[in-house]
């Protein structure tokens, strides 16, 4: 070992030279230029050592430098200015710093040379030959490397010089280069050179494979595609997963999906990682994994358990419907006690405008749950419920899973609106798909065709709405509890208009509260003369019309207070749209008023009968269905059988043609409940006795004169109430249904219970 003192230090940025190397170096930093000048003035020797951080432009002292470097000497100065110098140097020997002195413009160090060890045996010779072999392979793999290592003869092998030359030419990475410089065992040095060379060979080969792979996958000019493929290929070759995969793994973990679902998602993710990122299949798999991660699996909102508050919310949102509200609160109470949804699915059935959809929204508000609505009207494709399989282009989950994603929790209130409007065709039967959704015994493992994994719907509160149950398949109907919303009385409509509709439309039309006044009598006239409905939708439209007229007046005179009365109502709504001419006129022979049920509520049905000389033929008009035609013929036969009792000459039937007509011929009509009405008009026509214009009737008849029960009595009674009918004849068997009639209606209408047709004639015909 030899010691050298006060050698100027040149800090190298990322590179240095091994001993016994002649090279040119350029120095431009002031501290390095000063070191060269100091060396020239003091014998020409200096100490070359690398910085720990090659990016640093201003090393402060020994803490920023390696401790092992190389002693060199200046051979010549080729170019020198005040700011930079180019010098030819020759490195001499490896050394390490023993003392370091730093000033603002110069580093000085005392160094000590380092000894080497070598086995100089067969293993050294083997390592020597192996190193030469690897260096040759590297030169072959990468022709750009100018490597010329001449093997030494066995008698003159200088292993130290050999490792210095090879390391200086082959090892380019600073950490490996410094590690080999600091290694004192020559055999170990050769092992490290071999390991580094093998790594470089593999890297160069991998780079070539990547280049070939990318070249086959892209076309000329697709620069962006080429770069992305190259980055992906590099990642795959180095065994590194792309960031996308880790992001998806984190999403899968955070989603809380069941273990089996997570396994499937992970399998699909592994497939994705092996695909080209721009391939169509990759996009399909990525979309699939996104859906699995985004649908809620465990997130659950907390229910409101205050039933008093729930009832209060229902009362705030809806007037009347007391039995409906009671049933809803009972349902919520049972759900609170059991902790789960028990019993059938609620299905609200009734005509348009009675509040079916809005009451479901109130249920969600009472429970403090997320409210979502799915419109099923016109749905004919089963895939809209269960989703499309992933093999289809543009496949997505069905409406149910889509809504669950929107809900972001597993226990929303999900309204299945207009469930009676679903159809079926060659694409499947969506009503059958709904069986699994609405069955508590099955929906805990609902399977969407797109997701292909079971999904738990058992905590979803499903509520359905329909206008009628006739079109709902029996198996689906069996899973529901039907709650009928028949319609509102005039008093209820007035209260709804006062408490809800007017206030809502004042806000919508920008009218200050108190700027318009509508009395109850005015509301009653609007209901009677401008609307004819079970619900309040048409009433709301009329109120909106009034608000528009009021807004126009307020623009002209902002301080004016508008009072809408019965007398000036026509200024706002125009001519009356509905008038009951039959009630306003005189009782007529051969004309009676029946009651009928429709999907939009109850209606009155005028029936006319005319006799004229003929051959006993019967003509039926008015777009009547087969059942109604049969009722007409039954009524004629019944009147014939009662001819003697009511003083009718039997021979007249053979000489008289009968024409029965039900007005509004464009509207199809059917059903047996018009039987008593037809019998009454035929009896009136043959006896010449007029029928009271304040009487309405409904009921099916038999050939023996019995009056049979009918359905839809509440809707029919409300229809009679809307027209101001004072007496309604109904079958005796419907007596129990009178409990469903609002008391307001029963106070204004006298209900006659008829067991046979004679009772009907007694109360309908004016004697």
Question: Encoding tokens for residue 398?
Answer: 């069905």
534 is catalytic: no
Following DSSP, what letter does each residue of 309-355 receive, concatenated?
A: HHHHHHHHH-SS-HHHHHHHHHHHHHHHHHSS--SPEEEEE--TTSS
CA-to-CA separations, 714 to 348, 354, 486, 510, in angstroms, rounded: 16, 14, 7, 38
CA separation for the pair 121, 407 (Å, rounded): 77
Q: Which residue out of 673, 684, 727, 748 is catalytically annotated?
A: 673
What residue spans define the domains of the chain? 3-113, 118-240, 241-294, 307-484, 490-573, 581-764
Catalytic residue selected from 504, 716, 746, 758? 716
Question: Does pLDDT of 698 surpass 80?
Answer: yes
pLDDT in tens, 109-149: 888 888 888 888 888 888 888 888 888 888 887 776 666 66
**Is residue 616 within 8 Å of 663, Cβ to Cβ?**
no
Instruction: Supply 172's token pair.
Output: 């380019």
Which CATH code of 3.40.50.1970, 1.10.630.10, 1.20.58.1480, 3.10.150.10 fits the domain covering 118-240? 1.20.58.1480
State the number of CA atoms in the 13 A half-sphere of 514 facing the CB. 1
- CATH number for region 307-484: 3.40.50.300
Per-residue pLDDT at 153 exceeds 60: no
Residue 379's CB: how many other CB atoms inside 10 A? 22
State the residue for tokens 């003869």. Answer: 153
pLDDT band at 585 (very low <50, low <70, confident <90, very high): low
Q: What confidence tens digit (pLDDT) does each residue in 444-472 have?
A: 788 888 888 888 888 888 888 888 888 88
Tokens 């609307």 — which residue? 531
Lowest-pLDDT range of 230-234, 307-311, 389-393: 230-234
- Distance, in Å, from the CA atom of 389 to the CA atom of 383, rounded to the nearest integer, reads 9
Higher-pLDDT residue of 220 and 226 is 226
45 versus 352: which is more confidently predicted? 45
Across the chain, mean pLDDT equals: 83
pLDDT exceeds 60 at position 583: no
pLDDT in tens, 674-689: 889 999 999 998 998 9
Longest CA span, the chain: 155
> Phi, psi at residue 689, to the nearest 5°?
-90, 125
Residue 289's pLDDT band, with cuts at 50, 70 and 90, is: confident
| pLDDT at 35 (0 to 100) | 87
Span 163-187, mean pLDDT?
A: 85
Would you call 140 a catalytic residue per the annotation? no
Q: Is the pLDDT of residue 706 over 90?
A: yes
Least confident of 47-51, 125-129, 357-361, 389-393: 389-393
In whole angstroms, give the CA distance from residue 717 to residue 749: 9
Q: How far apart are the C-alpha atoms of 202 and 577, rounded to whole Å?
A: 91
Q: Is the dihedral of CA 151, 156, 158, 164 positive or negative?
A: negative
- Which pLDDT belongs to residue 228? 59
Classified by CATH at the fold level, domain 490-573 comes out as Helicase, Ruva Protein; domain 3 (1.10.8)
Indicate if the pLDDT at residue 222 is higher than 80. no
- Answer whether 307-484 and 581-764 agree in fold: no
Strands (E), 36-139: 45-50, 68-80, 85-102, 107-113
Could you read off the pLDDT of 53-63 as tens digits, one per residue?
Answer: 888 878 888 88
Higher-pLDDT residue of 561, 340:
561
The third-level CATH classification (topology) of the domain covering 581-764 is Ribosomal Protein S5; domain 2 (3.30.230)
- We find that the CATH architecture of domain 3-113 is Roll (2.30)
- pLDDT, greater one: 280 or 412: 412
- Candidates 379, 397, 396, 410; CA nearest to 447 is 397
Segment 658-670 shows an average pLDDT of: 82
Rounded Cα distance, 17 and 164, in Å? 9
């Amino acid at each position: 070992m030899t010691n050298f003192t006060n050698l100027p230090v040149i800090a190298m940025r990322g590179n240095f030279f091994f001993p016994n190397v002649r090279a040119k170096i350029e120095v431009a930093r002031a501290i390095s230029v000063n070191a060269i000048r100091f060396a020239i003035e003091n014998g020409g020797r200096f100490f070359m050592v690398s910085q720990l951080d090659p990016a640093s432009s201003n090393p402060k002292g020994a803490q920023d430098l390696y401790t092992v470097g190389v002693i060199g000497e200046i051979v010549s100065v080729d170019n020198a200015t005040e700011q930079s110098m180019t010098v030819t140097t020759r490195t001499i020997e490896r050394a390490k710093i023993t003392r370091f002195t730093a000033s603002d413009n110069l580093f000085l160090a005392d160094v000590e040379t380092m000894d080497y060890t070598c086995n100089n045996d067969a293993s050294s010779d083997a390592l020597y030959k192996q190193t030469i072999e690897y260096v040759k392979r590297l030169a072959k793999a990468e022709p750009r490397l100018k490597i010329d290592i001449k093997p030494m003869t066995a008698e003159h092998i200088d292993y130290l010089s050999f490792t210095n030359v090879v390391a200086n030419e082959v090892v380019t990475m600073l950490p490996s280069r410094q590690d080999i410089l600091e290694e004192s065992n020559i055999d170990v040095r050769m092992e490290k050179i071999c390991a580094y060379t093998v790594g470089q060979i593999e890297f160069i080969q991998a780079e070539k494979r990547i280049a070939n792979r990318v070249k086959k996958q892209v076309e000329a000019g697709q620069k962006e595609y080429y770069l992305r493929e190259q980055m992906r290929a590099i990642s795959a070759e180095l065994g590194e997963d792309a960031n996308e995969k880790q992001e998806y793994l984190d999403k899968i973990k955070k989603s809380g999906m069941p273990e089996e679902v997570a396994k499937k998602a992970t399998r699909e993710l592994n497939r994705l990682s092996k695909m080209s990122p721009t391939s169509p299949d990759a996009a399909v798999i990525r979309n699939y994994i996104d859906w699995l991660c985004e649908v809620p699996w465990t997130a659950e909102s907390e229910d409101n358990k205050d039933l008093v508050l729930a009832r209060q919310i229902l009362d705030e949102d809806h007037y009347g419907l007391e039995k409906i509200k009671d049933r809803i609160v009972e349902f919520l109470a049972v759900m609170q006690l059991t902790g789960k949804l028990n019993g059938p699915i609620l299905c609200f059935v009734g005509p348009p405008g009675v509040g079916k959809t809005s009451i479901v929204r109130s249920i969600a508000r009472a429970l403090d749950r997320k409210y979502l609505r799915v419109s099923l009207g016109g749905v004919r494709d089963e895939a809209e419920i269960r989703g499309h399989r992933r093999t289809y282009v543009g496949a997505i989950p069905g409406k149910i899973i889509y809504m669950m994603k929107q809900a972001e929790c597993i226990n929303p209130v999900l309204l299945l609106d207009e469930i009676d409007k679903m159809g079926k065709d060659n694409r499947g039967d969506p009503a059958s798909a709904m069986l699994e959704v609405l069955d508590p015994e099955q929906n805990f493992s609902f399977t969407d065709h797109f997701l292909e994994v079971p999904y738990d719907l058992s905590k979803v509160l499903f509520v359905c709405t329909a206008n009628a149950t006739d079109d709902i398949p029996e198996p689906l109907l069996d899973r529901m509890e039907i709650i009928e919303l028949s319609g509102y009385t005039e008093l209820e409509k007035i209260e709804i208009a006062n408490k809800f509709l007017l206030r809502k439309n004042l806000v919508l039309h920008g009218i200050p509260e108190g700027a318009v006044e509508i009395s109850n009598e005015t509301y009653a006239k609007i209901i009677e003369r401008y609307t004819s409905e079970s619900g309040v939708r048409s009433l709301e439209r009329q109120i909106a019309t009034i608000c528009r007229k009021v807004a126009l007046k307020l623009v002209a005179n902002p301080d004016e207070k508008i009072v809408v009365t019965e007398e000036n109502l026509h200024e706002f709504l125009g001519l009356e749209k509905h008038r009951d001419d039959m009630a306003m006129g005189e009782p007529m022979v051969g004309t009676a008023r029946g009651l009928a049920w429709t999907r939009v509520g109850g209606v009155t049905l005028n029936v006319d009968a005319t006799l004229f000389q003929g051959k006993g033929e019967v003509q039926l008009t008015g777009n009547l269905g087969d059942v109604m035609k049969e009722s007409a013929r039954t009524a004629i036969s019944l009147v014939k059988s009662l001819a003697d009792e009511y003083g009718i000459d039997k021979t007249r039937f053979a000489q008289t043609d009968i024409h029965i007509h039900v007005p509004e011929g464009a509207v199809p009509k059917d059903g047996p409940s018009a039987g008593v009405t037809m019998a009454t008009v035929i009896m009136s026509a043959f006896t010449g006795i007029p029928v009271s214009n304040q009487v309405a009737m409904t009921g099916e008849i038999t050939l023996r004169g019995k009056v049979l029960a009918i359905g839809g009595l509440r809707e029919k009674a409300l229809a009679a109430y809307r027209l101001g009918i004072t007496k309604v004849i109904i079958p005796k068997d419907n007596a129990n249904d009178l409990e469903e009639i609002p008391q307001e209606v029963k106070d204004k209408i006298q209900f006659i219970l008829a067991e046979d047709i004679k009772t009907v004639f007694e109360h309908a015909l004016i004697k």
